[in-house]
């Protein structure tokens, strides 16, 4: 058995690069989740609006996103858009793809949350003069997010971890930083072990943050 020793001192000088990559990973995930949540609410509304063309379009979008690999979606956005005259950077392509992917999954999550809302609440909102759109924005959407909050937070964590794929197009995320450091010192075991620790820390931070958000907002409804 060959001698093997951990040499983490090859990694420590590059911690700044890992921190920068982690910051970009957080930024991409937060932005994609924010925009994706809004888009998902619109998609869920379309699914349940009773307007067949909109519902069909939303359903088709969900099926396409959920049945194609994230990497293929990413490569399609990054390499296909320039062919039709839309120039995007690697980070922009990563963000667009993450929004698309997050939306495709959370539409169905939110639809389940909407269906759990008693019909009497919708009738009450309309009885005081709310339109369908107003009812959705002020009555349905907040409760749908609350009802599906655990699933949405899990989807956020999955998106954060899945964002490592964007390094395939040279987006400068945490995994891309790790790949670069490994190419300098060839200490794969140490570099990716430290990188895994970063991802564990990020997901733990997410759980703490979302728990705090729950206590400050939705917990008051109980």
Distance separating alpha carbons of residues 145 and 142, to the nearest angstrom: 5
In this predicted structure, what is the pLDDT of residue 143?
A: 87
- Among residues 86, 72, 92, 74, the alpha carbon closest in space to that of 27 is found at 92
Identify the residue with better confidence: 216 or 65: 65
In this predicted structure, what is the pLDDT of residue 157?
A: 92
DSSP state letter for 186: -
CATH, residue 207: 1.10.3720.10
Task: Tell me what percent of the residues of the chain surpass a pLDDT of 90.
Answer: 61
Mean per-residue pLDDT for 129-138?
84
- Angle made by CA atoms 67, 69, 70, in degrees to the nearest 5: 120
Domain assignment of residue 203, yes or no: yes
Cα-trace Rg, the chain = 21
Domain assignment of residue 1, yes or no: no
Domain assignment of residue 77, yes or no: yes
In this predicted structure, what is the pLDDT of residue 128?
A: 85
For residue 18, is it left (φ>0), alpha (ψ between -120 and 50) or beta? Answer: alpha
Domain assignment of residue 152, yes or no: yes
Q: Give residue 123's domain range.
A: 13-221
User: What does the pLDDT look like over 57-80, one tens digit per residue?
Assistant: 999 999 999 999 999 999 999 999
Residue 48 contacts residue 114 (beta carbons within 8 Å): yes
| 1 pLDDT tier (thresholds 50, 70, 90) | very low
Q: What are phi and psi of 3, to 5 degrees?
A: -70, 140
Distance separating alpha carbons of residues 170 and 158, to the nearest angstrom: 20
Token pair recorded at residue 164: 């490592």
Residues 6 or more apart whose Cβ sits within 8 Å of residue 74: 93, 94, 97, 165, 166, 168, 169
What's the mean pLDDT when you consider all of the chain? 90
User: What does the pLDDT look like over 13-23, one tens digit per residue?
Assistant: 889 999 999 99
Identify the residue with better confidence: 27 or 48: 27
In this predicted structure, what is the pLDDT of residue 30?
A: 95
Q: How far is CA 7 from CA 11, 16, 131, 195, in A?
A: 8, 18, 64, 15
User: What does the pLDDT look like over 146-169, one tens digit per residue?
Assistant: 989 999 999 999 999 999 999 999
**Where do we find the tokens 């990716």?**
192
Domain assignment of residue 8, yes or no: no
| 90 pLDDT tier (thresholds 50, 70, 90) | very high
Distance separating alpha carbons of residues 83 and 93, to the nearest angstrom: 14
Domain count, the chain: 1
Domain assignment of residue 4, yes or no: no
| 123 pLDDT tier (thresholds 50, 70, 90) | confident
| 222 pLDDT tier (thresholds 50, 70, 90) | low
């Amino acid at each position: 058995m060959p001698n093997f020793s951990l040499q983490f001192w090859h990694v420590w000088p590059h911690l700044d690069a890992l921190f920068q990559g982690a910051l970009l990973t957080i930024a991409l995930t937060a932005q994609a989740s924010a925009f994706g949540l809004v888009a998902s609410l619109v998609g869920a509304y379309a699914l349940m609006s009773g307007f067949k063309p909109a519902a069909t379009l939303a359903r088709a979008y969900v099926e396409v996103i959920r049945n194609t690999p994230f990497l293929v979606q990413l490569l399609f956005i990054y390499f296909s858009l320039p062919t039709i005259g839309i120039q995007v950077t690697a980070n922009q392509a990563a963000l667009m793809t993450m929004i698309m992917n997050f939306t495709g999954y959370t539409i169905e999550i939110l639809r389940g949350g909407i269906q759990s809302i008693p019909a009497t609440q919708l009738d009450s909102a309309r009885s005081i003069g709310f339109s369908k759109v107003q009812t959705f924005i002020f009555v349905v959407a907040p409760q749908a997010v609350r009802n599906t909050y655990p699933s949405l937070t899990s989807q956020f964590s999955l998106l954060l971890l899945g964002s490592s794929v964007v390094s395939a197009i040279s987006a400068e995320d945490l995994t891309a930083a790790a790949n670069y450091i490994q190419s300098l010192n060839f200490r794969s075991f140490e570099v990716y072990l430290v990188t895994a620790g970063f991802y564990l820390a990020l997901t733990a931070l997410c759980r703490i943050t979302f728990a705090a958000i729950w206590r400050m907002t939705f917990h008051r409804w109980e």
